[in-house]
Amino acid sequence: MTSRRIRTNPQSLEHPIDSDFIESIIIRSEPAEDQSDLRCFLTNVLLFIKRVDGIELDDKEKDYPSHSQFSHLTFRKGTSTAEGLKYRLRTIRRYQITNTQRIINIIASTAVSTPKESLTSRQIRIIEELHKNPILAQYELAKRLSTTSQVIRKELRHLRQQFSLATIYNLDYSKFRLALFEIDFRTISLDVSEKLEMYYRRTPPLFLRRINFDHNYRDGFFHYLIPDQPAGHRMFAERLKWLDSNFFETSSTFQILSFRIDISFENYNISTGTWMLNSDTYSIELLEFLSSKDRGRLPPREKPFGEPIQFDKTDYIIASTPYIFGEKQHIEVCQKVLEQHGFSLSKKTIWNRLKRLREIEALYPSVWYDSPELEELVKFSIDCTPEAVQPIHRIISILPYTYSVGTEVGLTFTFHRPSRCASITGLLAEAFDRIDGVSNIKVFRYEPTFSPQLFTKTADRWDESRQRWLLQKGDI
């Protein structure tokens, strides 16, 4: 009698990703005081997976509070990312990873789904046209590309699914009486970096926008939103003094005054789906030449921050809810977030308020897409004279997708560095260093996070009657 080996699919033997699975990770996590934060984070991940898997959420699940690093309400990606999240959750349990922050980092920093195919010339044209006018109607887009609305509709669906194409709305903080500051820092030691990160992860101040560390885990940067009034600036100065005394070896702080978005496909190879941004393609001499010439390129989307407006809490909540869907879905998400804050507005009312915020450019549209072969985010913080800004912008206009901001001391910009293009970072740093008026350059490298974050809780501090922020101890 011969025996027959029965093959089984290892995945079929895996425990399903459910609340028991999530709890089995949480119960082993350390330190114990961080378990409630981890539970909030992993529950948001689970709710996103359930939605992708077609499981209807009950009312309690729909209203579950967001985590600062993952919000199931605003997450925009689909099946491929859900599978990636499941794989990482199983890996965490299989290898018994117990450190709370490491668990969060594994999921929040590495679950970006990289497109597995090339962009076509028509898809590139679509992205370029939407960059020029992010709210262009489909029929207008079809006319510009000499094709039909049906073809455009199909291409847009594909771009959204495979390349996360989306219209996003950038918030002009100044219009809401907020000042955006960046703190670039280097910690005293690796141990101090860990203490700093744990402090901010466990008890994030209400007006903290983000904290990121470079791969070396000593350099990093904060973004802080400060109520633009004497009390806000005083509390921020006290916070800076405390950080300098306890954590920083060196630091610099500056206010962000404008933003700009550049898109370019001139270095994209359609046939291979790869970017040509390396030392074989570019040299210091070529970059210097680019900095000295005005070239034909896509115009940037750029906007200086403006003057304050009259607004109420609902205006602020609507403006602060990330726009990553189509109009209909975005209004539905706004309605849900407003309900969490105790406001009941009709969809028509929300649409009218959104329309007003766009007309006065409190919300400014731009297009977003995932760069093919995205490997890491690289951020340059450059101190320079106003005259040096233009040649820097000429150079960075060759990069796939660049988000830059104007500051009191120069500019900072972040770009998506594609794989096999590691040398471009060093080439850029050397080219910038040769520009007259550049006095200091800092470079940060970090993995992209993939979930838009909700910062609507700050609305609780807004006094509508006096049009000012009411700060409490610990808010900054």
- 373 pLDDT exceeds 70? no
- 220 pLDDT exceeds 60? yes
Answer whether 348's CB lies under 8 Å from 331's CB.
no
Report the 10 Å Cβ neighbour count for 148: 13
Q: pLDDT band at 175, cuts 50/70/90?
A: very high
User: What is the pLDDT of the chain when averaged over all its residues?
Assistant: 87
DSSP assignment of 3-23 equals: --PPP--GGGGSPPSSHHHHH
Higher pLDDT, 108 or 468: 468
**What pLDDT score was predicted for residue 10?**
40
**What pLDDT score was predicted for residue 4?**
37
**What pLDDT score was predicted for residue 13?**
45
**What pLDDT score was predicted for residue 69?**
75
Q: pLDDT band at 274, cuts 50/70/90?
A: confident
pLDDT-wise least confident of 325-329, 346-350, 364-368: 325-329
User: Rounded mean pLDDT of 361-388?
Assistant: 87
Q: pLDDT band at 318, cuts 50/70/90?
A: very high
Q: How far out from the chain centre does Cα 414 lie?
A: 11
Q: pLDDT band at 75, cuts 50/70/90?
A: low
**Dist CA 435 CA 93 (whole Å):** 51
User: Rounded mean pLDDT of 243-257?
Assistant: 96
Locate 7 and state its tokens: 């093959």
Burial of 316 (0-12, 13-18, 19+ CB in 10 A): buried
